[in-house]
Each structure stands twice: as structure tokens, then as C-alpha cells.
């Protein structure tokens, strides 16, 4: 059935119609050599998913190529369907080395691998990808899982023809049971149970069904009483017993640990339970291993990301929530819900585009004392980078359409409004990165930006006296950036003419125009080889305590003494530190985001970590397959942005824990 038009595009409705048509007209197996737009994840396509479920409910086997982007297959629908209604998902093997092709998608949803490199196939009339591989004018050598899916579909047809009494589940089981290991023994996330083998599969007279239906792929969250129930099937004529095992996703090659076993076959039921209360927050593989009476073993993989109980979400809408800042019971953030169509990427938002005023982002507040959300500023053009002290809020505001200025207001918890807005700067140059503490407000005045380097200096404003103070720009200093206030103490970064960044501090006195700068660190974070301080790598301050990234990406912490000195302590090494996330600091707690690199899978997951400077203990707070970033912390709450992979747009939510639920003491 043809689903692609002349333009090479197939819409969901046409695909779904074709699947239903094939099902209603007697198809036993439906082979699908297509995937949603390349490099553009589409985690949900309800129209096609419903058609696949319909086919499976009629005992039709749906086969899908996994895709060729080298990404987790869970990002793509319907290849990522879970439970009993999932499709059979195929990765590409390489006949040249009998391994898995590097371009092939991977994940626990991969069932088997089949040849997908250098496959001779028919050439379309206007093939734009066929240059150099054409044979005889009408044929072409091609790579991709689109080549692999037909191999699997053909073998399924042979199995069904040779064993007509087998059910659809048994036909699939025969295919998987007969596969040959080409990556890891038993089952793995790149080849599933292995590369298909026609002789083995056709020879099986009584295949064993090993199937996990829950959790299957990319399940995560909280579970009642820390008990996870694993569901599925472990059955077959030659069934003997089965075991359930687990391993961390980052270290599964080191082996699995058994947590449950049974000699009773299960058909679409509860396979067993797993008490996770003593385990750390992490991403876990769950392996079902079924033993047969002849000594053979059969496998399936599930996956579950374990998070601590009582994880909450701030009620929001579509789009992104980024740069949250909390003070007491009041949380502010920048929000693109009014214009979700202008967001893009998995963890990117137009709010992050430094100087583009045409994109929309607004400031919102959440009041924990009344559980209410308040719109602070939703005028045309962008508002971003909020900062809060008590009930006073400031932010960057591009409402004039020409440049950013600093605006603010005072939140009234009784009326749940922000009262009259006040403009603190009104200049033709950009005013950025405001920070507020009591009556003091500090921000950058940016004269120019060349090759990502700002020429700027810091201005401090006292809202009680309306007095202004610009920090002197010492000789050899190009820019002063990222001011942060706590009381009258301010920290900031300076870039020298040599390109090096240093961190300074002073006690600000606006009335006397004084700020006696003292050096904290002469080598703080710069990225991209351009000596540009990342906007997200602000130093942070809470009272006399300071934390910041150094030039290697390591996180430093210090306490300012009576003389203004701050001997630093390195909390973490540089490996895996996010280059795009804030540090949060409150009391003895330092929170940051870290890229947990999985060398085996060549993937990075953005998770949050906490360090207690008093007890000198490190704790992993979250485990998430996309990104947890931009943490902020108060005496009661830890809040952060969590990237969401949801169709039709990407976005992020605000998640939070009470510190008491995590056992954290500030």
C-alpha cells in the first residue's frame, strides 16, 4: 500500500488508513519502512497508534523499522508503543561484521535485528539519496532499518506458513527465540534478542513466550509504597521456570541481580513484585529470563526510572517553564505558554535566545501558600530572567521592541496581583541579568556584544532612595557581568582583556558610591573556546556563602569571612557538569545539574545532585532520560525545570520536592 505522496511526505491519517485497510482485507503481517521526520522526535502520534492497536487486536503483526538517527527509539511513535499492543521493532544489523549498524535506533523496545547495510533493492524513479549506489539503472544498494523490516516481515510469513497453528504471539516468539546473539548474550538494547535466523525460528515447534508488558520502555515515576509490579507473560509448552532481574541502565553489562523467581507460568498477568525502597534514584533495566525444560533461556527487557515519592508539579500549560527563582513561598519563572509554537528543541526555548526581542516569553508566579498561579507580565515581546526578594520581583523586559530594560513590581498575596509595574532602567542599551535583594537591584548595562563577548558594566539601584551607582571599570577589564545580591553583599564576574574571567565580591553602599572589590577566584567558567561566560553559569550567593563553576566546569563553594576573604572548596570534578544549568544555593545545600554520561550507550541524561557542605555528603536527587535543569531552592522546596518530550511541541514543566521528602537539611 502506498502512503507517500509525490513530495515524499506521508501524513498520519493516510498511514492509519493504510494500516486499517490492510487489517480489514486479510493481512497477517504489515511491514512499515518509515519513521517520523528525521532527527525530529515525535513521541506520540495517537492516530497511527490507534491503527496499530486495532491491527494487533485483530491478531495482525505490525513490524516497524526502528529508525536511522542513532537515537533512543522511545523518542519515536509508534515504535515506542508499550504493553501488549506494541509493534515489533527492528534494528539494522551489518552483514559485513554481523554487528548492529551505528545509525540504528536503540532501546528496550528493540525486539530483533535484521540486515540493513548494503542491501540491494529497487530504485525509485527520482531517488535523491541513490547517488553512487545505483546498479543497472533500476536497483540500488541502500542502508537503513527500512531494509531490515521487510526481512523480518518475510521471515514471520514463513514461520506462519510452516506453523499455521501458532498464534500471532507465538509467531513473534518463534522469531525472537530463534535469533542469534550479535551484541550481548541473551538480550540487549541494540539488537534485542539478536539477529534473525530463519532456520532456527522455523525449526521451533513450541516457542517460549517471554514478554514484559509493564514496565516496558521508559516508564518512570513514583510507585505506591516503593513496590513495583512487573506484568507480562512467561509461558510455553517447554516452560520450566522464570526469574526477574535488575541492573542499572548505566552498568547493566556488569550483570543482573535476581529479585524474584517462580515455577508457575503466567499468561498476561503479574509476573512479580520488586521492593525498591532500599535502592537509590536511578534508571533500571528489568530482565525477564524464562528457562525451558531443555535448558534454553528466553528473554525480554523492561525499564523503569525510580524516583523518590512525593514528586510534585506546578500546574502550567503548553510550552516552556525556565529559570525558576524562589524566595519563601513565592516562585517566579519565565514562561512561553502564550506562544508554545515558538519553542523548539528538547531543552531549548525562545526565552533563552539572548537578544531576540520578537519571541514571546512572560513572567509568572506561583504562591505556595495559596496554591495559585499569577500572571505577572504578559505584554507583547519578551520578558525573562526574573529575580525575587520577599514579594519584590524584577526581570528583563523587551516590551519597547528595541532593547531590554529592567522592570519590576511587588506581589500582593491578598489580592493575588502584582500591583503597579515600575521601570528601573530606560536606556537605549540592553539591561540584563537583574538580581534583587531587599531594596537593592543590580544588573548589567551592555554596550555591545562581539563574538559572544559582552562589553558591559554593573549598575546598582536603591529603590528606597532612587540612588544609582555604577561600578568602576578597572583598567584591563572589558566587562562586568552576572551580578548577584544577598543583602548588601554582591558577587559578579569580570572579563579581562586577556579573555580570562575572575569572580569578585564587595559590600555595596549606594549612598557613598562604594564597592571595594575583592577577588574570589581568578579562573571561573568559560565555554566554547570563546571565553564567553555561559548565561546559565551564574555564581550564586546566600548570605556569606557563595558557589560557582570554575574554568574546568567543577563546582566551588566558600564562606566569606569577616575580612571579605573566601577560601574555596572544590565540591565536584568537571566530568559531566552541565554547561547549561544554574547552580542553586541555600544554607548548606548546593544543587546543580549534571550530565550523567553512559559510555556503553553513548547517551547523556541530565540529573540533579545535592551537596551538603556541612556533612560533606553528595546525593543524587533525580534520574531522568531527558534533562532536569535550572534548580532553585528555599528552606522548604527544591524546584527545577524538567524537559518534556510531548507531541506536537517540546516543552518543560516545573517539578518540585519538599526538602523533608528528600531528607535534605539546609
pLDDT in tens, 81-110: 866 667 899 999 999 999 999 999 998 899
Residue 233 belongs to a domain: yes
CATH number, position 102: 3.40.50.200
Over the stretch 590-633, which tens digit does the pLDDT of each residue have? 998 877 655 555 555 678 999 999 999 999 999 887 788 889 99
pLDDT score recorded for residue 524: 54
Confidence of residue 347 (pLDDT cuts 50, 70, 90): very low
Number of domains in the chain: 2
Residue 409 grid cell: 513590581
Over the stretch 532-569, which tens digit does the pLDDT of each residue have? 344 435 689 999 999 987 766 678 888 888 888 888 78
Over the stretch 110-123, which tens digit does the pLDDT of each residue have? 999 999 999 999 88
Expressed as residue numbers, the domain containing 64 is: 1-204
SS3 of residue 558 by DSSP: strand
Residue 276 belongs to a domain: yes
Confidence of residue 319 (pLDDT cuts 50, 70, 90): confident
Q: How many CB atoms lie within 10 A of CB 484?
A: 23
Domain boundary residue among 175, 204, 233? 204
The residue whose grid cell reads 527509539 is 73
Is 625 in contact with 598 (CB distance < 8 Å)? no
Based on the domain organization, do 200 and 217 belong to the same domain? no
Q: How many CB atoms lie within 10 A of CB 420?
A: 7
Domain boundary residue among 204, 222, 238? 204
SS3 content of the chain, % helix, strand, coil (to 5): 15, 45, 45
Confidence of residue 445 (pLDDT cuts 50, 70, 90): very high
Residue 598 grid cell: 553512559
Strands (E), 398-466: 405-410, 422-423, 430-437, 440-450, 453-462
Distance CA 583, CA 208 (A): 51
pLDDT score recorded for residue 276: 92
Handedness of CA 562, 564, 565, 568 (dihedral sign): positive
pLDDT score recorded for residue 76: 83
Residue 117 belongs to a domain: yes
Of the candidates 247, 76, 107, 313, the one whose C-alpha atom is nearest the C-alpha of residue 191 is 107
pLDDT score recorded for residue 320: 83
Based on the domain organization, do 46 and 68 belong to the same domain? yes
Over the stretch 34-75, which tens digit does the pLDDT of each residue have? 987 654 567 778 899 999 999 999 999 999 999 998 888 888
Over the stretch 402-444, which tens digit does the pLDDT of each residue have? 889 999 999 999 999 998 899 999 988 899 999 999 999 999 9
Based on the domain organization, do 143 and 281 belong to the same domain? no
Residue 136 belongs to a domain: yes
Distance CA 342, CA 351 (A): 10
SS3 of residue 469 by DSSP: strand
Burial class (CB in 10 A: 0-12, 13-18, 19+), 35: buried
Amino acid at each position: 500500500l502506498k502512503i507517500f505522496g509525490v513530495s515524499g511526505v506521508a501524513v498520519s491519517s493516510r498511514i492509519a488508513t493504510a494500516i486499517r485497510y490492510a487489517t480489514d482485507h486479510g493481512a497477517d503481517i504489515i511491514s512499515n519502512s518509515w519513521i517520523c521526520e528525521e532527527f525530529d522526535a515525535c513521541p506520540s502520534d495517537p492516530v497511527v497508534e490507534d491503527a496499530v492497536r486495532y491491527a494487533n487486536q485483530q491478531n495482525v503483526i505490525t513490524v516497524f523499522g526502528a529508525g536511522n538517527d542513532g537515537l533512543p527509539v522511545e523518542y519515536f511513535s509508534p515504535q515506542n508503543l508499550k504493553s501488549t499492543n506494541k509493534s515489533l521493532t527492528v534494528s539494522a544489523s551489518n552483514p559485513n561484521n554481523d554487528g548492529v549498524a551505528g545509525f540504528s535506533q536503540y532501546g528496550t523496545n528493540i525486539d530483533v535485528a535484521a540486515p540493513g547495510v548494503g542491501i540491494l533493492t529497487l530504485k525509485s524513479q527520482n531517488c535523491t539519496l541513490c547517488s553512487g549506489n545505483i546498479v543497472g539503472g533500476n536497483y540500488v544498494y541502500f542502508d537503513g532499518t527500512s531494509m531490515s523490516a521487510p526481512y523480518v516481515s518475510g521471515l514471520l510469513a514463513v514461520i506462519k506458513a510452516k506453523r499455521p497453528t501458532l498464534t500471532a504471539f507465538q509467531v513473534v516468539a518463534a522469531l525472537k527465540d530463534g535469533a542469534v546473539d550479535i551484541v550481548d548474550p541473551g538480550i540487549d538494547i541494540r539488537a534485542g534478542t539478536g539477529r534473525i535466523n530463519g532456520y532456527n525460528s522455523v525449526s521451533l515447534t513450541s516457542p517460549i513466550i517471554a514478554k514484559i508488558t509493564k514496565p516496558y520502555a521508559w516508564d518512570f515515576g513514583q510507585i505506591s509504597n516503593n513496590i513495583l509490579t512487573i506484568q507480562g507473560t512467561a509461558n510455553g509448552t517447554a516452560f520450566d521456570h522464570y526469574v526477574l532481574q535488575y541492573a542499572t541502565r548505566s552498568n547493566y553489562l556488569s550483570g543482573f541481580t535476581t529479585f524474584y523467581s517462580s515455577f508457575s507460568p503466567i499468561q498476561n498477568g503479574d509476573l512479580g513484585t520488586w521492593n525498591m525502597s532500599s535502592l537509590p534514584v536511578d534508571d533500571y533495566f528489568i530482565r525477564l529470563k524464562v528457562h525451558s525444560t531443555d535448558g534454553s533461556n528466553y528473554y525480554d527487557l523492561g525499564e523503569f526510572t525510580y524516583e523518590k515519592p512525593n514528586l510534585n508539579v506546578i500546574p502550567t500549560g503548553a510550552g516552556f517553564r525556565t529559570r525558576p527563582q524562589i524566595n519563601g513561598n513565592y516562585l517566579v519563572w519565565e514562561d512561553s505558554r502564550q506562544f508554545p509554537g515558538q519553542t523548539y528543541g528538547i531543552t531549548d526555548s525562545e526565552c533563552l535566545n539572548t537578544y531576540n526581542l520578537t519571541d514571546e516569553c512572560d513572567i509568572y508566579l506561583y504562591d505556595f501558600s495559596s496554591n495559585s498561579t499569577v500572571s505577572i507580565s504578559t505584554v507583547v515581546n519578551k520578558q525573562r530572567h526574573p529575580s525575587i526578594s520577599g514579594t519584590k520581583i524584577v526581570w528583563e523586559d523587551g516590551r519597547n521592541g528595541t532593547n531590554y530594560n529592567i522592570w519590576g513590581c511587588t506581589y500582593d498575596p491578598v489580592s493575588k496581583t502584582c500591583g503597579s509595574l515600575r521601570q528601573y532602567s530606560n536606556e537605549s542599551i540592553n539591561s540584563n541579568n537583574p538580581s534583587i535583594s531587599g531594596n537593592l537591584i543590580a544588573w548589567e548595562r551592555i554596550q555591545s556584544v562581539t563574538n559572544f563577548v559582552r562589553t558591559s558594566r554593573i549598575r546598582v539601584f536603591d529603590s528606597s532612595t532612587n540612588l544609582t551607582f555604577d561600578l568602576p571599570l578597572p583598567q584591563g577589564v572589558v566587562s562586568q557581568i552576572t551580578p548577584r545580591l544577598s543583602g548588601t553583599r554582591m558577587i559578579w564576574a569580570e572579563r579581562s582583556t586577556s579573555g580570562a574571567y575572575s569572580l569578585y565580591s564587595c559590600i555595596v553602599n549606594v549612598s557613598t558610591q562604594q564597592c571595594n572589590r575583592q577577588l574570589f577566584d581568578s579562573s571561573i567558567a568559560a565555554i566554547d573556546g570563546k571565553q564567553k561566560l555561559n548565561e546559565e553559569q551564574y555564581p550564586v550567593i546566600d548570605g556569606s556563602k557563595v558557589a560557582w563553576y570554575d574554568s574546568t566546569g567543577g563546582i566551588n563553594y566558600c564562606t566569606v569571612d569577616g575580612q571579605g576573604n573566601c577560601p574555596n572548596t572544590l565540591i565536584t570534578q568537571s566530568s559531566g557538569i552541565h554547561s547549561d544549568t544554574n547552580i542553586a544555593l541555600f544554607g548548606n545545600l548546593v544543587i546543580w545539574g549534571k550530565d550523567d554520561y553512559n559510555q556503553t550507550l553513548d547517551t547523556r541524561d541530565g540529573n540533579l545532585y545535592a551537596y551538603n557542605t556541612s556533612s560533606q555528603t553528595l546525593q543524587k536527587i533525580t534520574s531522568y532520560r531527558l534533562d532536569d535543569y535550572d534548580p532553585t531552592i528555599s528552606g522548604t522546596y527544591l524546584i527545577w525545570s524538567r524537559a518534556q518530550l510531548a507531541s506536537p511541541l517540546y516543552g518543560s514543566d516545573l517539578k518540585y520536592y519538599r526538602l523533608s521528602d528528600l531528607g535534605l537539611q539546609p
